[in-house]
Structure 1
Amino acid sequence: MTGGRLAIFCLFSVLCEIYGKDHVPVLIWNTKQVQEGVPAVSALQYINYGTFQAKYLAAFKPKNILLFLQDALSVEDLSSHASEFQHVRQWMEKSHALYLPNVENAAHLAHDLPSHGYNVVVLEPGVPAAGLDLKQEDNNLVVVKLPTTLTNPSRRRALQKADEVMQNVISKVGEKREFTVIFTGLKPSVEDHSEQYEDRIRVRVSRSLKAYYDDWPIGFHVGGCTMLYLHTNMTINYFRDNDTDTPYRTDIIDESKSSTNGTGDCTNRATIVIKYTDITIGDDHHAKASFEFTFQRKNLVWEFSSVESFSNTSIVYTLVSPDISGIPLGMSYSCTQKIYLRSNDTGSSISELVLNGIQMEPFSSNLGKFSNAWDCIGFFTVPIWASLLVTLLLVTILSVGMYMLSNIKTMDRFDDPKGQAIMVPATAE
């Protein structure tokens, strides 16, 4: 998906606005070096400074660091003004990048890294980057203080100016040395953390992202460490008296009224909750309803186990067909056929949840883009087997015919009109 990295960055930033208070989003990227051993980051996860430095920054093994510090950074800057960060978008798409939604006091790097042997150079606003004094043998930390945005009457223009400064510095400094780049803020620029505000943003996170990014179609959900894409609306079939042949009613769950929330520890269990507002199921109108998809991790593989529905009552749907287990970690599962889950109803009627085409991937550290797919349809399908058998039959017929033609023996002597005729003696019995 084009721009998927930027979309995830904005998602993390939205959630950071909700829960951040003294936490700010951090973006790290390196155009050449791939980070190793980085654990998955939940969108709701808070990261203190020590964890940020020891687990996440250390994964890049940075020798030279380019630290961009903005006076304030929050969701309004990264979602509402995403077009102003056009160079940031390009770097994220082309580099090996890591997004951390809620980091406490990330700017403390400027004071901490000198004690770790880094040669520190500070670029104030308006100072050219061409004359930087970088030591060849030492680790270098270049701290770039971006122009202030809080005192600028046009925040859009201020953010655009910050993006231009980053582009100018990277174009000049990047020629001198390979840098690991960090972009963060000193504090959040939005301080509204009321309970009503948090609830409103929770519901609108996925919907606003889908509206902003055309390449995020309706039905694509990201939460925690899990991605899920519903090709079409889910349906619920209802049957009477255990008669599962013909449903007496079918409900369609409208994906255009959905939002996403991810939970779970993302270690051995991961869940993603799809929430719906103002939908009708059967004869009942629901102001809120949700479906929780649960995934289990077993060693190096994962499996999809169940879906739990919450509205007026809780209903657990367990997988009937096909079997979705043994999927290697680092791979997504894709299926264009229908997936059936049966409810645990004990009454005279039962219900069936039908997923009409799906792709999903839990325990992912690269949110926004699915990994290679493990398809529910194997390579040797019935049409392929039929084609192979017909081809084999035709090749066999052709081979037998060629063999028979190659064994036809012709005469090795012929009559000469000017000579004596060939006499073939016949022996009478």
Structure 2
Amino acid sequence: MAVGTVLLPFAVLLVLGVPWPVTPSQQVPVLLWSSESSLWSALPSAHGGHVTTDLQLGQYLDPALTTGPRNVLLFLQEKLSIEDFTAFGGVYGNKQDSAFPNLESIMESSPSSLVLPAVDWYAANILPTYLKEKLGVSPLHVDQSTLLELRLNETIPSLLVVRLPYANSAGLMVAKDVLRANDEVIGQVLSTLKSEGVPYTALLTALRPSRVNRESDFAVGGLGRQLLATPTPTPTYPPVYFNGTQNNPCILFWATNISVVMEKSLIQLTNDTFNKTDTAELIDGSSCSNSSAVLVLNYADNLRVIFHLESRFYNVSGRRWFTLNRVQVFNSTHNATFLAPQVSAPSNYSFHCQYVSSLPVFGSLLINNSTGSNWQLHIADFQIQGFNVTGLKFSYASDCASFFSPGIWMGLITTLLFVFILTYGLHMVMNLKTMDRFDDPKGPSIAVPQTD
């Protein structure tokens, strides 16, 4: 299937006005194809309106990485959005004016191909690390010249990464020229592999979207149901809790994703945190009191994640506030400490934030305070409460999203501008003055005698 036909349904959805998913995070497309057939035939295709998460992307990649070719080629572009295909791609199979003639032909002729139009930005960013863990090899950055010198083997796995740029200028023609140049690089690299008879699986994605035109990209919060779109299902597992001295819950913690990157190795902790039937071992070492709370999460290989919360009374506000002082991540050989000064809320509230992460692309609410540490911690849909807990239900959440979002500021400024124009116009109208003398058109005309 050509990109002109593969991506055409998504282009039609855009033209007809069917809304794309509105999520707090940004999305990039992921295109997959392989020289081996029937890799993704048993998997359901992604519908318009669905945002593919990191776990779902792993489900799409697992068949290709386990039963497909051992040579994986990752084309990683600096910026790319699904709108680039609809703006610069061929229409109804017409490749003459397309910026992706090689890619369209490749997707059409490949025995297996798959298009994921909207993939979570975070999932695309951790693709190199995920592929490294699955294949057991380090990524090798190559171009066309170095690829000719490689001798690939069908039985030995390899991970080849080709970096592709994007236009820094906002001009459409400049962006189209850069995309066409990237398409030529893709065609040349795949021609080299085809000439050598090397089976492969290829992916094309980007580190960030090239077009951010949704107001909700600035928002932080849950995803509501959109017209003609199926919302991304929210996990239904209960929060992790720790019972205090009176055998009542005193700490609650919940998230949809917990990931730790240790020395460039990604470790997913979500299932080990919320899908355990016996949580006694998981929270062993936790404690709580009226002024402090410590939540300890114990995992395999001596890995531990510890949240330190503290409650204090502030005279200015006349109430107690709790703060997440620090988060510690360590195992038997390495450790890291992350400060979280912005994670704060009244003690009778819980705290919620869409992303509590040390990664810069997600706001960096966690600040790495350990020198020489390459560890990263990422938590999605983070919610925690360490004081005044009643049962297994969070109190009212103090969200990290500010009330005056960019959309609200734009509305206020526009309203003030219109009010100023209206006030100025009324002022001008009220200060109009009529003339005190008028010419009488019915009176006698003035005769001017003529002299010879």
Report the TM-score when normalising by structure 1: 0.42
The structure that is strand-richer by fraction is 1
Structure number with larger C-alpha Rg: 1
Report the TM-score when normalising by structure 2: 0.40
